[in-house]
Amino acid sequence: MATASRKQREIRQRELLILDTARRMLLEKGYIGLSMDRIAAEIEYSKGTIYQHFTCKEDLVAALAVQTMTVRRGMFEAAASISGRTRERMTAVGVADQLFAEIEPDHARVEQLLKEVSIWDKASAERRNAALSYETSCMSVVAGVVRDGVAAGDLAMSDGEIEQLVFGLWSLAWGARSIMAASLAIEKFGISEPEAALTANYQVLLDGYQWRPLSTEWDYVATAERIRDELIRQRST
């Protein structure tokens, strides 16, 4: 029994090794530069072994995506469940997003990279469902906080507007990261601290939606810092 589980641990270990290697390769050379041959060479296992873990290239990449989503979702859920006023909790999700990009830059980048690649057709159904579920639940976490804001009277909003706000925050974050990663001109143009700019725009948008207390009435910079420390502390335990 002990023997079997050691083997199993080794296998699981190797799966992680494959994924890590693939992720690095994806980041370095793009989707096109990611090849089964090269992964095999790098991990020093045979190609056949990789195919014992993943049915095809797409399946491997899908696994990468799912892994990333899992990490993100975990961080989002931790953030949303923090205590405080609803806009503080919304801020916390923003902090989580930023933290995710900062602590797990590879995962964050993979997320962007894979958006434009159609891997889901050939990936195993199991993995496809996992992906869909993770993405939906990330959005639901955010929507939940918004609804709590409405319930608490911090925010006045119709039903359709809730989704609109979530979409706005998501767009803002996603777009900013995308531009940071790929834009030729961003530094030339004079945006030296895009991450800070994103955080600021975040609060401006919430102000625009009149989510109380407004940033003129409350120090969200301090809030963000506090939450940040809190989330980091949680992670390390």
Partner DNA sequence: CATGAATGAGCCTTCATTCAT
Partner DNA sequence: TATGAATGAAGGCTCATTCAT
Residues near DNA, by CB under 7 A: 3, 7, 10-11, 14, 32-38, 45-49, 51-52, 55-58, 122
Which one, 83 or 118, has the nearer CB to a copy of itself? 118
Rounded distance, CA 64 to CA 77, Å? Answer: 20
- Comparing C-alpha atoms, which of 193, 194, 189, 213 is closest to residue 203? 213
- Please identify, among the stretches 14-22, 45-53, 100-108, 188-196, the one whose residues bind a copy of itself according to the rule CB under 8 A: 188-196
Residue with tokens 């979702």: 73
Which one, 83 or 116, has the nearer CB to a copy of itself? 116
Q: Which partner from the list DNA, a copy of itself, none does 112 bind, CB cut-off 5 to 8 Å by kind?
A: a copy of itself
Q: How many helices (H) and strands (E) does the chain have?
A: 11, 0
Distances, alpha carbon 149 to alpha carbons 84, 185, 228, 232, in Å: 11, 38, 21, 25
Rounded distance, CA 44 to CA 46, Å? Answer: 7
Contact of 128 with 120, CB cutoff 8 Å: yes
Which one, 21 or 211, has the nearer CB to a copy of itself? 211
Contact of 63 with 54, CB cutoff 8 Å: yes
Residue 156 touching a copy of itself (CB under 8 A): no
Binding residues for a copy of itself, rule CB under 8 A, total: 54
- Comparing C-alpha atoms, which of 227, 230, 229, 208 is closest to residue 219? 227
Measured from the Cβ of residue 122, the count of other Cβ atoms closer than 10 Å reads 14
Contact of 58 with 122, CB cutoff 8 Å: yes
Which one, 10 or 163, has the nearer CB to DNA? 10
Residue 184 touching a copy of itself (CB under 8 A): yes
Q: Which of residues 58-97 bind a copy of itself (CB under 8 A)?
A: none
Residue 175 touching a copy of itself (CB under 8 A): yes
Residue 49 touching a copy of itself (CB under 8 A): no
Residue 170 touching a copy of itself (CB under 8 A): yes
Residue 150 touching a copy of itself (CB under 8 A): no
CB of 159 to DNA, least distance (A): 43
Interface positions with a copy of itself (CB under 8 A):
30-32, 112-113, 115-118, 120, 128, 131-132, 135-136, 139-140, 143, 163-168, 170-176, 178-179, 181-185, 188-191, 194, 197-198, 200-201, 203-209
